[in-house]
Amino acid sequence: MPDASTTHRAGSAPAAVAGAADDREFTVAERSQGRLVLRRFLRHRAAMVSLVVLVGLILLAYVGGALWRYDVGEITPDNSAAPSLQHPFGTDAVGKDQLAQVLGGTRISLQVSVMVAVLATLVGTLWGSVAGYFGGWIDTLMMRIADLVLTLPLIAVAAMLAHHFGGTWYLIGLVIAGLYWAYVSRVARGVVLSLREKEFIEAARALGASNSRIILRHLVPNALGSIFVNLTILVALAILLETALSYLGFGVQTPDTSLGLLVSEAQTALTTRPWLFYFPGLFIITIALTINFIGDGLRDAFDPQQTKVRQ
């Protein structure tokens, strides 16, 4: 029980034990759920390292990209240059600086995925909780619709719609979000259904807690965990889907650029200019990997009892 040990250690700092008044001997200072969650998250080493790396990457993409001497799409006199001090990630065949390209691609890919995560979470959570809350035929109907979306290969439908709606980043985001909400709705419904039946909700009710108190103090904080964890998974999934779409030629189009588009453009140059292929790929992997670890840390932090590993 990691929870108990944490509580104990925190409550019995040496000084406190030595000088504690008798009536405080067996009690610990009350701490809010939020602080507990934060503590547990901070102790998750992989998640913390990932958070630092991810924040660094975001700063690099936005601040570094603005300060860097070349802009996205700017053509420099050097072409096909290997990585050097002048061009840390090398240049492509027409002389575009690859660092500027990768940072620009990172910005677009991040924007798309954050947009997808937020939109899909909002719609999916609403959809799933309404279905779970009302139950009956409303639940059946709503969840069958969600299931229908899930039986279609996401990338096929996304490619089809994106081809029609064009290659601007927010339209791509809209298309992807329009498909991912179904996943979120299943998670949200599951959370609502299981929480409704939990003993602690019953206990709170038996103790005379009002409905609004049960919702605000017990239901929402407990559901937040799953929603946040799901949000991080969505960011990672959306990055991968966006890059895959761009790779197939149905995603972000030039003059915008994305990490997937960069890899797609570089695949024929793998033997001659490998840096064009490896750097955007490494950025995609780093972003998805760090976000997955952060999601893992969040899940552990919100629900220490659950040893189940995220699929």
Partner 1 sequence: MLIYAVRRIVVSIPILLVSSFVVFWLGTLSGNPLTPLILRNPPPPPHVLAAEADRLHLNEPLVPRYLSWLGGVLRGDFGPSVIATQDIGAELGARFWVTMRLIIVAMVIALVLAVLVGVYTAVRQYSKADYTATFLGFLFLAMPSFWLAILLKQGGIDFNTIVGDQVIYTIGASSVPAPPGFLARVVDIAGHLVLPTIALALISYAAWSRFTRASMLETLNSDYVRLARAKGLSRRTVMFRHALRTALIPLTTVTALDVATILGGAVITERVFQWRGLGDFLIESIRQFDTYAVTSWLLVSAAIVIAFNLVADLLYGVLDPRIRYA
Considering only residues 62 to 121 of the shown chain, the ones binding partner 1 according to CB under 8 A are none
Radius of gyration over alpha carbons of the chain, in Å? 24
β-sheet bridge partners, residue 91: 97
At position 85, the amino acid (one-letter code) is: L
Do 261 and 101 meet the contact criterion of CB atoms below 8 Å apart? no
Minimum separation from the CB atom of position 207 to partner 1 (A): 30
Kindly give the residue spans of alpha helices, DSSP state H, lying in 135-219: 136-150, 154-165, 169-197, 199-206, 211-213
Minimum separation from the CB atom of position 147 to partner 1 (A): 8
By CB under 8 A, is residue 154 in contact with partner 1? yes
By CB under 8 A, is residue 243 in contact with partner 1? yes
Span of 130-138, 193-201, 215-223, 285-293 interacting with partner 1 by CB under 8 A = 285-293
Nearer to partner 1, 219 or 241 (CB): 241
# residues near partner 1 by CB under 8 A:
45
By CB under 8 A, is residue 1 in contact with partner 1? no
Instruction: Provide the CB-side half-sphere exposure for 63 (13 A, CA).
Output: 6
Q: Which long-range contacts (CB under 8 A, 24 or more apart) does 26-29 make?
A: none
Nearer to partner 1, 102 or 263 (CB): 263
Give the DSSP letter of residue 218.
Answer: I
Binding footprint of partner 1 on the chain (CB under 8 A):
144, 147-148, 150-157, 159-161, 163-164, 236, 240, 243-244, 247-250, 260, 263-264, 267, 270-271, 277, 281, 284-289, 292-293, 307-311
